[in-house]
Amino acid sequence: MITNTELEYKGDLYPTKIVDFKKEVDSVYFYTDNNVILKVTVLRDSLIRFRYTTKGYFSKDFSYAIDKKQSHGYNFLEVTEDINCYNIQTNKVICKVQKEDLRILITDLNGHSILEDELGFHWEESYHFGGNIVKMSKASKDGESFYGLGDKATQMNLKGKRVENFATDQYAFHKDQEPLYKVVPFYIGLQNNHSYGVFFDNTFKSTFDFCHERRNVTSFWAEGGEMNYYFIYGPQMQDVVTTYTHLTGKPELPPLWALGYHQCKWSYFPESKVKEVTSKFRELKIPCDAIYLDIDYMEGFRCFTWSKEYFPDPKRMVAELAEDGFKTIVIIDPGIKIDKDYWVYKEALEKDYFCKRADGPYMKGKVWPGECNFPDYTNPEVREWWADLFKELISDIGVKGVWNDMNEPAVMDVPGKTFPMDVRHDYDGNPCSHRKAHNIYGTQMARATYHGVKRFAYPKRPFVITRSAYSGAQRYTSSWTGDNVASWEHLWIANIQAQRMSISGMGFTGSDIGGFAEQPTGELYARWIQLGVFHPFCRTHSSGDHGDQEPWSFDEEVINITRKFVEMRYQLLPYLYTMFWEYINDGVPMLKPLVYYDQADHHTQYRNDEFIFGNQILVCPILEPNAMGRRMYLPSGNWYNYWTNELVAGKRELWVQTDFDQIPIFVKEGAIIPKYPIQQYVGELEFEEITLDVYFKNGKEKSVLYEDAQDGYDYNKGRFSLATFNLTGKDTELIIKQHKEGKFDTNYTNFKINFHGLPFKVKKIMIDKEQITISKASIATKSFIVDKNFTEIHIIGI
């Protein structure tokens, strides 16, 4: 019997020889004998776009991922021709286009091959849907490694893996499960110390195969749309990631409180329960800045309503929580209950804002409220309407952040767990089916939410978190990794997901600490908190099905560990905020996998666990029960053990002994780490001084401290304070020079300087060339107070 697929499959088609070419400003067009056009656009010397059509013309160019604000510009562009190829040369790379078959080879200026087509672009016509299944294959050299791809729950190095990009509500997913909630069709290749990136900007379901099917071939394909990808040259991984993040956009700074600790559960209700939880945090003195209301705060799960029974006066409650330093964050899902007496439903119906099936009926599906219709967030008018719906929540009630969930979009009790593929979308004036819009539905919802929250929170900064996301979503929202499980394996996954998201441009991410499904042991919870405080987004969340997951649900020891690590996060807030500032300015990922930190060191290429938090703190979580420490890899450089101050040389594997209330943490020699006093929430205390922990180095190291008003937009007008510390250490001398920029004057007046690892006895301290008297106490504790505006500290020792 002949199957459908056999009937449909007419075989792969390939471009034939180039018959014409034309250069237009930054683009070069190649025309083949069989109607294929390749448009090569040079956006930067190290960023080149490849766009193919098989129709003989290009359709309208549109992308949700690319940041319209990104700047272009190259220093050099020249096209030459030889017998076999056209050569497009920039200041960084040469792109050879083969005349015979349109295949591409990209080399650096020394002729070192970076990315080479195997079969190159090919396609299969789609009988069912029209258009093509578009395919690409690249030759992969031995020893090549692959990274990126967003939230994949698999080893850091994707070599040998095949992954699928189709946003999916994957409850209690497991290691290697595919696909997951997010779609980031961007990978980084690393071979022979050269990094490059490929961003396949295609929203259809796509697959990437990293030498899984064939040992020396990497390929990617999508079920529709265009072969449209960006090549990014390194040679350092940092160059690849920052260029990708520049292309798809950076967020604004979050309010500082959003970097505090968040507490969540499905669900805290009624009001008295919420208050019980928040009071307990204050009583136990575990810092916390945000409390979440999951779906039960609503009236019958109707978005933008409140249950009168559980929350009779939300405005008062939110204000009282705010008095105590808690910001209230509420969940909003996309499904709008079909209910003729429900105002949101009525409005959307009147305005015709719900998604429709191909033949006209509204898309109907079951979610928490029962049968729902779903706004088409790909329609700009719908996004505007949606944004306005937040007026009451934000302006009147005082909610500070919004949590968007189920936006893959998730539909219950149906095969595929989502919309049928015939559902229609506006796609910002490029009408299409759900096949094309599925992967960006969640991002467009989060985008509309972000605009709404921002509109009504202004002049304060908005906070939005989403479960589903496509490349570029980082411009609008933070994210979490979805419904994980309280298991040791999931702790391993969470660690990798946060690092992977970070180098995939979407750094403001965290996992449900402790696990969403099932119940963690106290030990697992403690180990998870110890890792979670080093993730940019830090929230405990659980399904609540199996008991409680507040720190006090566990024994005294776990409560103390939780407090200790959350306190550490609050002390490190200025360091974390500075990391965030580097991310929003330069696209630098906040968490750096070891391979990112030192790609030249082969040992880093398969490391999963250790990562650099910011630039100078190395964290290695403990991922097994009953551990008294662990084996780990310390990358190049010299590192101080955070707990013992012992200086350890890197580029080697070692055993690190730790107690239960510790994980291996190392500080780079020469680092100056800023710390705030412990507060129960951001802004609780006004302080006179902050601490600078100075880790001696015989040599030079630069550290940075970014601060501003911690909320609002004045930082865009220059009201920030950027301090650069240049440390130079010698045998019996240490010099710290401070350079300050920006118009913001911090509230505190002094720095308390703490020395770690000073190899000499202090004889004399000069501040701005004047000698200060040193008390015995400060010699003993190796610490002293200095005016925050110092320009030079000079320590002379014997």
Question: For residue 574, is the peptide bond before it cis, meaning its omega torsion is within 30 degrees of 0?
Answer: no
Stretch (H or E) spanning 345? helix 343-351
Q: What is the largest CA-CA distance in the chain?
A: 95
Residue among 70, 436, 60 nearest 51 (CA): 60
State which amino acid sits at residue 7: L
Cβ proximity of 415 and 365 under 8 Å? no
Q: What is the 3-state secondary structure (H, E, C) of 701-727?
A: EEEEEEECCCCCCHHHHCCCEEEEEEE
Residue 472 to residue 335: CA distance in whole angstroms: 23
Q: Which residue is nearest to ligand GLC (CB)?
A: 266
CB-wise, 303 or 762, nearer to ligand GLC?
303
Least separation in angstroms between CB 330 and ligand GLC: 11
CB-wise, 544 or 677, nearer to ligand GLC?
544
Q: State the virtual CA torsion across 136, 137, 143, 144 in degrees, nearest 10.
A: -10
The two tokens of residue 672 are 């100056």
Least separation in angstroms between CB 108 and ligand GLC: 44
CB-wise, 196 or 306, nearer to ligand GLC?
306
Residue among 672, 679, 639 nearest 754 (CA): 672
State which amino acid sits at residue 496: I
Buried b (16+ CB within 10 A) or exposed e, 246-256: bbbbbbebbbb
Cβ proximity of 293 and 322 under 8 Å? no
Least separation in angstroms between CB 412 and ligand GLC: 11
- Active-site residue flag, 142: no
Rg of the chain taking only CA atoms, in angstroms: 27
Cβ proximity of 703 and 282 under 8 Å? no
CB-wise, 152 or 467, nearer to ligand GLC?
467
Least separation in angstroms between CB 711 and ligand GLC: 26
CB-wise, 172 or 284, nearer to ligand GLC?
172
Residue 428 to residue 438: CA distance in whole angstroms: 14
Question: For residue 409, is the peptide bond before it cis, meaning its omega torsion is within 30 degrees of 0?
Answer: yes
User: Under DSSP, is residue 694 helix (H, G, I), strand (E, B) or coil?
Assistant: strand
Least separation in angstroms between CB 344 and ligand GLC: 18
Least separation in angstroms between CB 294 and ligand GLC: 5
Residues interacting with ligand GLC, by CB under 6 A?
A: 266, 294-295, 331, 405, 467, 482-483, 541
Residue among 323, 321, 436, 334 nearest 376 (CA): 334
CB-wise, 369 or 482, nearer to ligand GLC?
482
Residues counted in the chain: 798
Least separation in angstroms between CB 532 and ligand GLC: 15
Least separation in angstroms between CB 520 and ligand GLC: 16
- Active-site residue flag, 733: no
Number of H helices, E strands in the chain: 13, 51
CB-wise, 181 or 695, nearer to ligand GLC?
181
Residue 602 to residue 143: CA distance in whole angstroms: 10
Residue 248 to residue 242: CA distance in whole angstroms: 10
Query: Starting from the edge strand earliest in sequence, which strands make up the sheet with 228-233, in order?
Result: 18-24, 27-32, 37-44, 47-53, 228-233, 194-200, 186-191, 145-148
Residue 668 to residue 697: CA distance in whole angstroms: 9
Residue 394 to residue 390: CA distance in whole angstroms: 6
**What is the full DSSP assignment across 119-173?**
EEEEEEE-TTTSSEEEEEEEE--TT-EEEE-TT--S-SS-TT-EEEE-----TT-
CB-wise, 38 or 332, nearer to ligand GLC?
332
Q: Which of 408, 609, 693, 708 is catalytic?
A: 408
Residues in Cβ contact with 494 at an 8 Å cutoff, skipping those fewer than 6 apart: 481, 484, 511, 528, 531, 532, 535
**Which burial class, exposed, middle or buried, applies to 417 when counting CB atoms under 10 A from its CB (0-12, 13-18, 19+)?**
middle
Least separation in angstroms between CB 329 and ligand GLC: 12
Q: Which residues pair with 770 in a beta bridge?
A: 767
CB-wise, 89 or 481, nearer to ligand GLC?
481
CB-wise, 506 or 736, nearer to ligand GLC?
506
Q: Which of 169, 376, 426, 483 is catalytic?
A: 483
Residues in Cβ contact with 257 at an 8 Å cutoff, skipping those fewer than 6 apart: 289, 290, 327, 400, 681, 682, 683, 710, 711
Least separation in angstroms between CB 512 and ligand GLC: 7
- Active-site residue flag, 483: yes
The two tokens of residue 305 are 């309503």
CB-wise, 166 or 181, nearer to ligand GLC?
181
CB-wise, 98 or 466, nearer to ligand GLC?
466
Q: Which of 223, 333, 405, 707 is catalytic?
A: 405
Least separation in angstroms between CB 517 and ligand GLC: 9
What angle is formed at CA 479 by the lines to CA 437 and CA 69, rounded to 5 degrees? 65
CB-wise, 446 or 723, nearer to ligand GLC?
446
For the annotated catalytic residues, the residue numbers are 405, 408, 483
